[in-house]
Amino acid sequence: MSSALFNRLNRRQLKHRPTGFSYAVIKKYAEDNTAYQANLITYYAFMALFPMLIIAVSLMQLLFRHNQSVKLKVVSTISHYFPAMSNELQTNIHSLHRTGLALILSLLIALYGARGLAGAWRYTLDNIWFVPRLRRLGQPRSTFRNLYIILVGGSGLLLASGLATLATSLNHSFLFRLLADGLGILLLFGVIVFLLKAGTTARISTKTALKSALLVTVGLQLLQILGGYVMVHELSRLSLFYGTLSTVLGLLFWIYLQVQVLLWVTEATAVHYLGLWPRSLNRHQLTPQDIRINGLYEKREQRLRIPKSL
């Protein structure tokens, strides 16, 4: 690309607000190494979720041993939230008979994943919001914050799925299910607001968190509708060749997509809230926002307090 064309494109994106904002978000996403953090969050989320699904199905074997219809409805609800697991749960609901030792092991793995998930989530949000390392929570406050996020966030998500399960098992009317779905979406919205606020030591206004959570909720619902259809139909074909491996890979990818929605919206919120756009394509012709964000990065990575006398 010629220098004249490159400079022309740069001037155009600096003047065009939507393009300039989009480029600033993409650039910050790369500079924050958010893609790596998304992978880490996905890994820990999988380690927390997969054992919990095993525990849930195992408990159904005990609680609804003589009520096959309720058991199938619960599995149907779980499959709605995690379409990648649909075929596997439907196939193995009759064959899963877990021992006490297996359930304890699954619970320990789930706790390991939940603890790592909370820590990775907090680290990522602190990075996105330029929280200096000196201001980040140390031990034991960091562990307590992780437990707080696990208890409140996990309880909210379980309650949302529980309401949907109850509605499905008790009534088939359209209005009742619509009300249950609405309550589930409201609970999901509330949990996301909590995660965005509790996940960082940065002082984010409630208004900003509400706007960001609204975008995340809409994005997750669209992903649930469009992505769920693709996952169910395409995964059924892959399972013929790869079996359980296709389920594991499908669940990992499904979690990854949802994490990406969360992180992209959070990055866009930070760029808009802090006024970090437009950014220049040319590193030799920096905008005021480029200069400012470089200062924020330097302050974020500072690990030692430098005395003023030095």
**pLDDT by residue (tens digit) across 62-106?**
666 666 665 565 555 555 566 655 555 555 544 445 556 777 888
Q: 277 near 289, Cβ under 8 Å?
A: yes
Q: Return the pLDDT at 266.
A: 97
Q: Are 238 and 246 in contact (CB under 8 A)?
A: yes
Find where tokens 């992180």 sit. Answer: 263
Confidence of residue 205 (pLDDT cuts 50, 70, 90): very high
Given the structure tokens 């300039």, which residue do they identify?
20
CB atoms within 10 A of CB 58: 17
Residue 232 has pLDDT above 90, yes or no: no
Cα separation, 21 vs 27, in Å, equals: 10
pLDDT top residue among 56 and 157: 157
Using 50, 70 and 90 to split pLDDT, how confident is the model at 3? Answer: confident
Report the share of the chain in percent with pLDDT over 70. 72
Sign of CA dihedral 166, 73, 246, 102: positive
Average pLDDT, the chain: 82
Cα–Cα–Cα angle for 288, 290, 291, rounded to 5 degrees: 65
Structural element, H or E, at residue 118: helix 100-128
The predicted model scores a pTM of 0.86
Nearest C-alpha neighbor of 154 from the set 127, 109, 105, 118: 118
Q: What is the mean pLDDT of residues 46-55?
A: 80
Q: Indicate the pLDDT class of residue 310, thresholds 50, 70 and 90.
A: very low
96 with 58: CB under 8 angstroms? yes
CB burial of 180-204 (b: ≥16 within 10 Å; e: otherwise) equals beeebeebbbbbbbbbbbbbbbbeb
Asked if residue 270 lies in contact with residue 129, where contact means CB atoms within 8 angstroms, the answer is yes
In three-state secondary structure terms, 142 is helix
Q: How far is CA 244 from the centre of its chain?
A: 24
| Host H or E run for residue 61 | helix 34-63
